[in-house]
Amino acid sequence: MLKRLNFILIYSVLSLISITTSVYASPSIGIGSMYDVFTPETQSLTKRVYNTGTSTAFVRVEILEIDADPKMNQRESAQKEIKEGSLTQERLIVSPLRLIIPPSSFQSVRILWPGDREKERYFRIRFTPVLPEENDGFGMSKDEITQYKKNALDVGVNVLTGYGSVVVMQAKNPLFNTVIDDTNKQISIKNKGNATIILDNIRYCENIKSHCENKAREIILPGREFVLQKKINNKIDFVLIEGDKSNTFNY
């Protein structure tokens, strides 16, 4: 496998482990797309968090800002604390930060950026199921917490898995400059603009298109490159998305 040149699709899987090995029933959350792109026209969006498990999920939401550069270096750090009386325009706002999701249901969070968009920025939003505690924002009484933990132990809950979604905040004046180089062995897609681009519905198909691999998706940050290796007797299809515009390519 070629090295992933895009940090965007590196998924964060967070686990809370307690001592038990029994088969269990537990919360099981899902967040849909692992990334969300704010185009210049997008001011806010709503993201659903699903619980397909058999018990109520208590989900903590955390926000980290990602500092990335074209050399694939990246650092993640918590947003700066807000001083009392200060404005919040330069922070990604996610609400609510605590979710209580019944089995086979979902809750929605709203993601909002009220600040300037002079340059592209990146954030990771972590959705982590937890065992509730007192004064942790879920508003449960001591008796309710005790009963929930007892039920969790009775059914052997030992792993609660969460995910990290990446938010790409495009600048208000994005410049798209995608260069595609088609050679005998590979197709390289270089992002020479200042805004993230998306390769959607990537798939390899036999020449007669009777059999195709599952579709894939890649995000390419400014200054980075993604390579598709060619396969014998296969064609490659993908959709290039630049902001609100999309074009289909076949090789």
Q: List pLDDT tens digits, range 133-149.
A: 877 778 878 888 888 77
For residue 28, give its domain range.
7-169
Residue 89 lies in a domain: yes
Q: Do 157 and 188 fall into the same domain? A: no
- Number of structural domains (the chain) is 2
Q: Do 149 and 188 fall into the same domain? A: no
User: What CATH number does residue 99 fall under?
Assistant: 2.60.40.10
Q: Final residue of a domain: which of 126, 151, 169?
A: 169
Which helix (H) or strand (E) segment holds residue 121: the answer is strand 121-129
The answer to whether the CB of 64 falls within 8 A of the CB of 76 is yes
Q: Judging by DSSP bridges, how do beta strands 74-78 and 57-68 pair with one another?
A: antiparallel
Please, which residues bridge with residue 77 across strands?
Answer: 65
Q: List pLDDT tens digits, range 66-98.
A: 887 656 566 777 776 555 445 566 789 999 999
Q: List pLDDT tens digits, range 192-249.
A: 999 999 999 999 998 766 788 888 889 999 999 999 999 988 899 999 999 889 999 9
Q: Final residue of a domain: which of 149, 169, 189?
A: 169
Long-range CB pairs of 179-185 (<8 Å, 24+ gap) are 180/240, 180/249, 182/251, 184/230, 185/229, 185/230
Q: Do 32 and 75 fall into the same domain? A: yes
Residue 130 lies in a domain: yes
pLDDT value, residue 154? 57
pLDDT value, residue 208? 64
Q: Do 153 and 190 fall into the same domain? A: no
Which helix (H) or strand (E) segment holds residue 37: the answer is strand 35-38
Q: List pLDDT tens digits, range 175-188.
A: 999 999 999 999 99
Which helix (H) or strand (E) segment holds residue 229: the answer is strand 225-229
In the chain, the amino acid numbered 66 is I
Instruction: Report d(CA 220, CA 31) in Å as an integer.
Output: 21
In our burial notation (b when 16+ CB lie closer than 10 A, e otherwise), range 126-147 reads: bbbbbebeeeeebebeeeebee
Q: Final residue of a domain: which of 169, 190, 222?
A: 169
Residue 1 lies in a domain: no
Residue 153 lies in a domain: yes
Q: What whole-number percentage of the chain has pLDDT above 90?
A: 43
Instruction: Report d(CA 240, CA 105) in Å as an integer.
Output: 34
Q: List pLDDT tens digits, range 28-63.
A: 899 988 889 998 888 899 999 999 988 888 999 999
In this prediction the pTM is 0.76
Return all residues near 73 (Cβ < 8 A) that are at least 6 apart: none
Instruction: Give just the sign of the alpha carbon dihedral 36, 63, 136, 15.
Output: positive
Q: Do 144 and 202 fall into the same domain? A: no
User: What CATH number does residue 197 fall under?
Assistant: 2.60.40
What does the CA dihedral 135, 25, 13, 11 come to, rounded to 10 degrees?
Answer: -120
